[in-house]
Structure 1
Amino acid sequence: MNTRFILFIAALILANACSRPGAKKQAANVKANAETPAANTATLPSTDTAITIAAVGDIMLGSSYPDSTFLPSDSAKASFKFALKHLKKADITFGNLEGVLLDTGAPVGYKLRFKHKGYLFRMPVKYGGIFKDAGFNVLSVGNNHSNDFDRAGRRSTIKTLDSLGIHTAGFKSHPTKSFTKNGVKYGFCAFSPNGQTVSLLQIAHAKSIISSLKANNDIVIVSFHGGGEGADYEHVPDSAEIFKGENRGNLRAFTHAAVDAGADVLLGNGPHVSRGIELYKNRVIAYSLGNFVTYKGVSVSGVCGLAPLLKIRINKKGEFLNGQIASYRQNHQTGLLPDSLNRAAQRIKALTEADFIQPGLSISATGAITPTAKN
C-alpha cells in the first residue's frame, strides 16, 4: 500500500469525524468556554466594603513664635515616619490641628497674657505639606489654639489646607465640610468651647448642624475638643467639666446627643491625655485621643506622653465593626516612637473599664477592639 493511498484514507476518517452530528456544537462550546474563563473559575471572595478610619489626637509640629527655638531641627519632616504605615492606608485619616499655619503675624491680644510664649502655636505654612504627605485628609480646627493669631491665622490655615485638599471644619466661618471619597459621601464638623469656633456648649445648635449633615451624607464624622487638661483629667465625668473656671462641656451629654442627631464617629481631643472609648447605639465615641505629635509647647511627661493611634472599621451605615489601637510614645528629644509595650492601648482599656459600666466594646491588652453587645 503506497503512502499516497494511506494519507487519502486518513483524511477521509478525519473529515467524517469532524462532520458527526453535534461535533460543531461541541467545538463551539469549547471555544465559548475558552472565551469565558469565569465559567470555569471558582467564585472569588467579595471585596471588603468597610470604611477604614485612622484617627489621632492633638498634632502641633512646633511654633515659629516668638522665634525658631520652638521648631524642630529637621523642619518636622520626620514627625510621622513611624506611623505612616497606619496613616496612609485608611480611607479617612484624622487629627486635631492644634495651632495655625502662618508664616508671620502677631498673636491675638488676649493671648499675650501667657507668660510662656511657646504656648502660642504658629507653624510655617510649608508644614501643611507634611500633613498631606503623612496621609491626613481631615483635620479639625475647632480648638483653643486655632485663634492664637487672630483672623490672619485662621484665614491662612484654611487657605493652606484647602490648597492641599485637606478637609477641615470647626471655625464659625467654616462650621462643616462635605466631600466624597470612593463613592461615599462624608460630612465633617468640629466643636469646642472656645472663641471663633463652633460651640460645644450649645448642644441644640450642634444637633441641628449634625442632622443637616446627615440628611445629605452617608457618614458623619464629629470632632470635639473639650474637658479638663492634664494627668488629673483622664476620666470622663457624667457632668460638665470646669477647668480653670471655664466650662469645657458635658461630654457624655454632647456625644450622645450628637449620635441621636446622626453622628456616626465621634473623635475627642483637648485633655492632652487619653480617655476611654464607648459604643453608643453602635457608634464609636473616643472621648480623647490625647497627644500624638506635639513638639515642645505641650507637656509629654508621664501619661501625657502616651500617643494612641485609633484605627476603626465601620460599615456604610456608620455602624462600628471592629478596631485597633496602635500604641506610640513621644518625647521632645526623640519625637514619636512605636511602643512595643502597648501602654496607650492598655491605658485606654483600663479607663474604658473604669468609666463605663456597659461600654459596648472590649479592648484587648494589645489594643484590639471588638463590640460586645448591641446598645
Structure 2
Amino acid sequence: MKTRFIQCFLILIIAACTRPPSGSPVIKNPVAKAQPSTAVAPPDAINIAAVGDIMLGSSYPDSTCLPPDSAKNSFKHALKDLREADLAFGNLEGVLLDTGAPVGYKLRFKHKGYLFRMPAKFGNVLKDAGFDILSVGNNHSNDFDVAGRKSTLKVLDSLGIHTAGFKSHPSKTFTLNGVKYGFCAFSPNGQTVSLLQTARAKKLIAGLKSKVDIVIVSFHGGGEGVDYEHVPDSAEIFKGENRGNLRAFTHAAVDAGADVVFGNGPHVARAMELYKNRLIAYSLGNFVTYKGVSISGICGIAPLLKVSINKQGEFLNGQIVSYKQSHQTGLRFDTLNLAAQRIMALTLADFRQPGLKISPSGKIKPSTAN
C-alpha cells in the first residue's frame, strides 16, 4: 500500500511539472522522449510532410557561407520522413542563382550576411530530399531581383518541383498519384502574392478549389525571432511593417477552400489549430538553414510535421517529428522531442479551444477523437 501511494504521488508531481504555464511556455525538463509514430491512417489517406524555412547556404558576397559538402547531406537524417510522404512541402528562403548582384534597395544588407543566393546546383539537393512543392513567397525571394526569381523558377521547374508565391506565379495546379492539387503561397513582401489583401487571396483560393481536390496554402508572415512565438489575435507589426493578422488570414483561407495551411517566417515554431476540421500550422520555424539565419536556442528547434487528411481535405491525424540543428552538425533527430513539446505548450497557451490535442511525443488528433 505504501509503495502504491508513493507511485501515485510521483505521478501527480510529474503531471504538475509538465503542465504548460499560462504565459510564455518554458520547457526545462522534458520527460517524453521521441518515439516512432504509431498512428495508422486509412488506406486512401493523403500523407503530407511539411517543414519550415530552408536556406542551404549563400554564395553572396563570397563562398564562406556555403556548406563544405555542397549541401549534399543537408537532409540526411530526415530523408525517410520526407521521401515516404505522398507530398513534401517547404519554404525556400532565398533564390537559386549562380551569379548576380542584389536588388538595389537590399544593398544595405551586403555585409550582414542577409542576402541569400544558393548555387543553382543546390536544386538537386532539394529534389533528392523528396520535396514536391516549395513556397517562394517570402522576404528573401527578391534578394537578387528579376534574375534571381527567374533562375529559381527555371531550376525548380526543370526538376519537377512545383512552386508558388511570386506575383508572376501565384499558384500551381498538378496531379500526383491520382489526386488533383492546388498550391498557393502568400507574404507581405514585394513581388509576392500579398498576405494583406484578404479578398484577393480568398478569390485565388476559391478558384483553385473549384478545379482540384486538395488546396494547400502557405504563408510567410508575423514577427521574427524569440519574442514572436505567440500568435496574437491582431495584425503583427515588425520593424514598422505590417506582417499580417494571421488568425484572420488563415481562417479566411479555410473559409475560401484551403484544406491545410502551413505557416513560416517567424524563425521559431508556433501553435497549431484545427479550424473547420482543417489543420493550420502557424509557423514551422527553421528546418535547414546553413548560416545567415540564427539557430541558437529555440530558433534551432526544427519540427517536421506529418499530416494525414482524407480525399475531402479533412484532418485525420498527425505527428510532429522533432529535429534540431546547429551550424556545426547540421540537422539531427532530437531524442528529447523539444519541437513537439514546444508546439504543444504554445498551442495550449494561445488557443482556448484549438480543436486538437498534441501529446508530448508529438501525436496530433482532433480533440473530439478518443
Q: TM-score, normalised by structure 2?
A: 0.88
Please state whether the residue corresponding to 2:250 is helix, strand or coil: helix
Please state whether the residue corresponding to 2:223 is helix, strand or coil: coil
Q: What amino acid sits opposite 1:79 in the alignment?
A: S
Query: Partners in 1 of 2:357 and 2:110 — Cα distance?
Result: 43
Query: Partners in 2 of 1:243 and 1:102 — Cα distance?
Result: 29
Query: Partners in 2 of 1:90 and 1:47 — Cα distance?
Result: 14
Alignment of 1:239-318 (within 5 A): 239-318=234-313
Query: Partners in 1 of 2:339 and 2:304 — Cα distance?
Result: 9
Query: Partners in 1 of 2:184 and 2:84 — Cα distance?
Result: 23
The counterpart of 1:222, out of the listed 217, 221, 235, is 217
Q: Does 1:179 align with 2:200?
A: no
Query: Partners in 2 of 1:169 and 1:259 — Cα distance?
Result: 18
Aligned equivalent of 2:26: none
How big is each residue's C-alpha offset from its partner over 1:149-204, in whole Å with a ceiling of 9 and x where there is no partner?
A: 00000000000000000000000000000000111000000000000000000000
The counterpart of 1:131, out of the listed 126, 142, 145, is 126
How big is each residue's C-alpha offset from its partner over 1:25-47, in whole Å with a ceiling of 9 and x where there is no partner?
A: xxxxxxxxxxxxxxxxxxxxx97
Query: Partners in 1 of 2:270 and 2:187 — Cα distance?
Result: 17
Alpha-carbon offset, residue 117 of structure 1: 3.9
Alignment of 1:144-223 (within 5 A): 144-223=139-218
Query: Partners in 1 of 2:64 and 2:350 — Cα distance?
Result: 40
Alpha-carbon offset, residue 373 of structure 1: 2.9
The counterpart of 1:75, out of the listed 70, 74, 78, is 70
Query: Partners in 1 of 2:108 and 2:346 — Cα distance?
Result: 34
Aligned equivalent of 1:322: 317
Q: Does 1:122 align with 2:117?
A: yes
Query: Partners in 2 of 1:183 and 1:80 — Cα distance?
Result: 28
User: Is the Cα contact below 8 Å between 2:61 and 2:110 reproduced in 1?
Assistant: no
Please state whether the residue corresponding to 2:340 is helix, strand or coil: helix
Alpha-carbon offset, residue 219 of structure 1: 0.2
Aligned equivalent of 2:46: 51
User: Is the Cα contact below 8 Å between 1:264 and 1:319 reproduced in 2?
Assistant: yes
User: Is the Cα contact below 8 Å between 1:305 and 1:331 reproduced in 2?
Assistant: yes
How big is each residue's C-alpha offset from its partner over 1:36-64, in whole Å with a ceiling of 9 and x where there is no partner?
A: xxxxxxxxxx9700000000000000000
Consecutive aligned runs of 4 or more in structure 1 exceeding 6 Å deviation: none
Alpha-carbon offset, residue 111 of structure 1: 0.5
Please state whether the residue corresponding to 1:260 is helix, strand or coil: helix
- Tell me the matched-pair count: 329
Q: What amino acid sits opposite 1:217 in the alignment?
A: V
Q: What amino acid sits opposite 1:65 in the alignment?
A: Y
Cα root mean square deviation, aligned: 1.0
Query: Partners in 2 of 1:190 and 1:363 — Cα distance?
Result: 26
The counterpart of 1:350, out of the listed 338, 345, 348, is 345
Q: What amino acid sits opposite 2:75 in the alignment?
A: F
Query: Partners in 2 of 1:65 and 1:88 — Cα distance?
Result: 30
Alpha-carbon offset, residue 115 of structure 1: 5.6
Q: What amino acid sits opposite 2:243 in the alignment?
A: R
Q: What amino acid sits opposite 1:252 in the alignment?
A: R
**Identical amino acids, percent of aligned pairs:** 79
Aligned equivalent of 2:34: none
Higher helix share: 1
Q: Any stretches of 5+ residues in structure 1 without a counterpart?
A: 1-45
User: Is the Cα contact below 8 Å between 1:58 and 1:291 reproduced in 2?
Assistant: yes
Query: Partners in 1 of 2:273 and 2:319 — Cα distance?
Result: 14
Q: TM-score, normalised by structure 1?
A: 0.87
Aligned equivalent of 1:63: 58
User: Is the Cα contact below 8 Å between 1:65 and 1:117 reproduced in 2?
Assistant: no
Please state whether the residue corresponding to 1:293 is helix, strand or coil: strand
Please state whether the residue corresponding to 1:188 is helix, strand or coil: strand
Query: Partners in 1 of 2:179 and 2:230 — Cα distance?
Result: 34
Query: Partners in 2 of 1:117 and 1:105 — Cα distance?
Result: 18
How big is each residue's C-alpha offset from its partner over 1:324-365, in whole Å with a ceiling of 9 and x where there is no partner?
A: 000011011110011000000000000000000110110011
Q: Does 1:338 align with 2:333?
A: yes
Query: Partners in 2 of 1:173 and 1:116 — Cα distance?
Result: 30
Q: Does 1:98 align with 2:93?
A: yes
The counterpart of 1:113, out of the listed 102, 105, 108, is 108
User: Is the Cα contact below 8 Å between 2:137 and 2:164 reproduced in 1?
Assistant: yes
